Amino acid sequence: MARKTTLTERSINSATLPAVRRNPFRKSVLNPPKDAEPKRLWLWIMLLLVAGALVLGIVGTATWNWIRTFPLFTNSTTPPPVVTTFKVARSMPYADLTVTVLTAQSSSSFSDDAIHAGPVTVRLNVQVSNPITSLISITYYDVARLLAPKHAPIAPTNMQLATDVPAKGSIKGWIDFPVPNGTQLSSLKLQLGSTLLNETLVVMPLSGAYQPTRFAVHHSPQSLVVYYSFEGNTLTYHLNSVDVSYSYHGHEVRSGDQFYILNFTVDNPNGVDVSPGFGYDYIRLVTDGVNRAPIDNTLPNTFKAGAQGVGGHVVYIEPVGLTNLTIGFLLQLYAGQNNYSVGL
């Protein structure tokens, strides 16, 4: 006979049944443990601390590198460029100036020249002297060239040298040239002269054979006396010397020519002033049978009564290498001239 369930048993079963069917994970999801929130918070804090440390490290490194660029913190381990120096101490004439190369230096760069047009820079340290009584100007970018073996003439890229040389004064400075790698300082030459103006080019090697007198002024003493009459009054001209030069008053002569400078003193023994005119008017140099007028003259127009030893010169441009000169004095009142020859 089947047993009837009592009310008490039903109560017990209904109370215990839900506990048996309950999902064990549901409580953990819907009602997490009380210590999960603190763990997650600490994880975020740790991540923030690591990220902050990385940011501070990057910013600190960048700031330190920037600060180190200031001179106070600069401690570069890169050695300065090597500078090779070659003593020259040679002089050359150009346009009445004396240009002396003191030393030649080569380096990949110089601290006071930011222009580096070639792998190597050659610096010529020079002194320029002006022996005459007037200022001379020279444009080195146009006339200065460095000659290196198997290379075309090299123009300067930069310089620290004044273009004006004062009368009876001198200046110092440097001129920089770009040269190929492997260039030996001892193999170089300095050339002065404008090819655009067809000037006579003066070349000086920095080492080896060199004849500094080749372009120097050739001074030829003379003793010619000329008696020259004007309106019945005779003046006495003394040709004291002839200077043969490649330059005159700061100008270099054209290639193939030279300046011929005739230096006179004049006496006027007459009791009146005598005015034959300037040297341009009546003194000529005869070349190949042709009268050549002077390009410059410093003889006065008038010689005072009783004057003695009044100096001046007349200047001509003639072919290079003349060894004899024919000087013509034009007659004042009618056609003709008197010619006089001198040797150099």
- Among 252, 250, 248, 251, smallest CA distance to 261 is for 248
% pLDDT > 90, the chain: 71
Q: Which domains does the chain have, with CATH numbers?
A: 84-211 (2.60.40.4170), 218-343 (2.60.40.4170)
**C-alpha of 138 from chain center:** 12
- Among 338, 326, 327, smallest CA distance to 234 is for 338
Mean pLDDT of the chain: 86
Answer yes or no: is pLDDT of 307 > 90. Answer: yes
Query: What pLDDT, on a 0 to 100 scale, did the predictor assign at position 68?
Result: 58
Query: What pLDDT, on a 0 to 100 scale, did the predictor assign at position 176?
Result: 96
**Cα–Cα distance measured from residue 266 to residue 237, given in angstroms and rounded to the nearest whole number:** 5
**Cα–Cα distance measured from residue 216 to residue 103, given in angstroms and rounded to the nearest whole number:** 22
**What would the pLDDT profile of 2-40 be if each residue is shown by its tens digit?**
444 444 444 444 444 444 444 444 444 445 555 556 666
**Sequence-separated (6 or more) residues with CB below 8 Å from residue 237:** 225, 226, 227, 228, 264, 265, 266, 329
**Cα–Cα distance measured from residue 171 to residue 181, given in angstroms and rounded to the nearest whole number:** 31
Answer yes or no: is pLDDT of 153 > 60. Answer: yes
Average pLDDT rounded to a whole number, residues 77-104: 92
pTM for this one?
0.74
Helix (H) or strand (E) holding 84, with range, is strand 84-94
* Lookup: tokens for 133: 């009584």
Please, how many CA atoms are within 13 Å of residue 300, restricted to the half-sphere of its CB?
Answer: 15
Of residues 168 and 58, more confidence is placed in 168
Buried (b) or exposed (e) across 204-242, using 16+ Cβ within 10 A? Answer: bebbeeeeeeebeeeeeebebebebebeebebebbbbeb
Among the residue ranges 74-83, 186-195, 302-311, the one predicted with the least confidence is 74-83
